[in-house]
Amino acid sequence: MEFLKKHYEKVLLSVVLVGLAVAAALLPIKVASVRNTLEQATRRYETRNIKPLKPLDLSTNEAELARLETGVPMPLETHGHHIFNPIEWVQKPGPDRILIPREDTGTKALIVTNIEPLHTTIEFEGLRDAGPNPRYTFRVKREAATNNIFWHPYQRIAGVGDKSDAFTLKEVKGPKEDPTEVVLELSDSKQTVSVSKDKPYDEVAGYAADLRYGVDNKLFPHVRQGQKITVGGVAYNIVAISQSDVTLEDSQTRKRTTIHWAAAPQPAK
C-alpha cells in the first residue's frame, strides 16, 4: 500500500499509456471495418437496377410540325365557302317556303335511284307461208327503241332479202320448210347474227333510269336516252345512260353533267 501511495501517479500514468497503446492497436482494425462498411454501401447503390425514364410523347408536336410543313389549303372558291362568293337564295317549292342556295338546286339535287338494261330480242317461230319464196314468222321486242310501240313483243313476217324495222333476213340454212337456222342483219348496228327456234337473239341495247329531284322529290321514272326532263325550271336532254351513270345536257347552254348511280354494281375483278 505504501508503494501505491508513493507511486500512484506512475501507476495511473502506466494504465493510461497501456490504454492508449491498446486503442492505437485497435484503431487500424476499426478503420478497416468502417471502410469495408462504406464500400459495401457504395457497391449496393452502384449495382442497383434503375429503370430508365419513359420517352416523351411528342406525337402532338410532330403532328403540328407536319401541318406547318404541308400547309392547309383554303378552297374559298369551292362549294360551301361564301366569304368572297355571295350566293343566290331561292324558295323551295312547297307550303313551308324554305329558302335554299341556288347552287343546291338543278342537276346537283338530281339523284339516280335505279338503272335497268333494255333488251333487243328476236325469236324465230318458223315457217309462215310455203312456196317458191317461203316467208317466216319472227317475234321481236326492242325495249330501247325511240317509238314505244316496239317496247312490247310484236310479230314480223319476212322472206329472204326482206327488210323490217329490226332486221333483214339474209339467209336460211337447212330445209326451207323447217330451217335449222336463219341469218339476220340487224337494222341498227348492221351486225350479222344467227337465230334458231332454240336459240333466240337477246342483247342489251341500252339502259333506262329512274331519277329523283331532291328539292321537291319530283320523280322521273324510266327515262331513256333522247328524252327531255325539266329540273328547276331548266330543260335537259338525256344524252347517254350507261349501267352506272346518266349524262344530261342543258338544252340552252349545251353544258353536260354526268350523275353517278351510287348503287351501281361493281365490275367483276
Write down the pLDDT at residue 233.
Answer: 81
**Total domain count, the chain:** 3
| Whether residues 213 and 143 fall in one domain | no
| Whether residues 150 and 163 fall in one domain | yes
Write down the pLDDT at residue 86.
Answer: 72
Tell me how far apart the alpha carbons of residues 120 and 186 are, in angstroms, rounded to a whole number.
10
| Whether residues 229 and 110 fall in one domain | yes
Residue 78 lies in a domain: no
Write down the pLDDT at residue 57.
Answer: 86
| Whether residues 110 and 121 fall in one domain | no
| Whether residues 200 and 210 fall in one domain | no
Domain endpoint, select from 205, 223, 250 = 205
Residue 51 lies in a domain: no
With contact defined as beta carbons under 8 Å apart, do 246 and 238 qualify?
yes
| Whether residues 245 and 221 fall in one domain | yes
At a CB cut-off of 8 Å and minimum separation 6, what does 151 contact?
141, 142, 143, 145
Among the listed residues 234, 232, 231, the one whose alpha carbon sits nearest the alpha carbon of residue 252: 234
Cα-to-chain-centroid distance, residue 77: 25
Q: What is the pLDDT along the chain (269 residues), one digit of tens a residue?
A: 665 566 667 767 777 787 788 777 778 888 888 888 888 777 776 666 667 788 888 888 888 888 878 766 776 666 666 666 677 676 676 677 776 676 677 788 899 999 999 999 999 999 998 888 899 999 999 999 888 899 999 999 999 999 999 999 999 999 999 999 999 999 988 999 999 999 999 999 999 999 998 877 889 999 999 999 998 888 999 999 999 999 999 999 999 999 999 988 776 55
Write down the pLDDT at residue 227.
Answer: 92
| Whether residues 159 and 196 fall in one domain | yes
110: containing domain: 103-115+206-260
DSSP string, 167-215: EEEEEEES-SSS-SEEEEEETTT--EEEE-SS--EEEEEEEEEEEEETT
| Whether residues 109 and 213 fall in one domain | yes
Write down the pLDDT at residue 11.
Answer: 67
Residue 154 lies in a domain: yes
Tell me how far apart the alpha carbons of residues 70 and 67 are, in angstroms, rounded to a whole number.
5
For the chain, the residue count is 269
| Whether residues 169 and 244 fall in one domain | no
Residue 87 lies in a domain: no
| Whether residues 109 and 240 fall in one domain | yes
Tell me how far apart the alpha carbons of residues 180 and 33 are, in angstroms, rounded to a whole number.
122
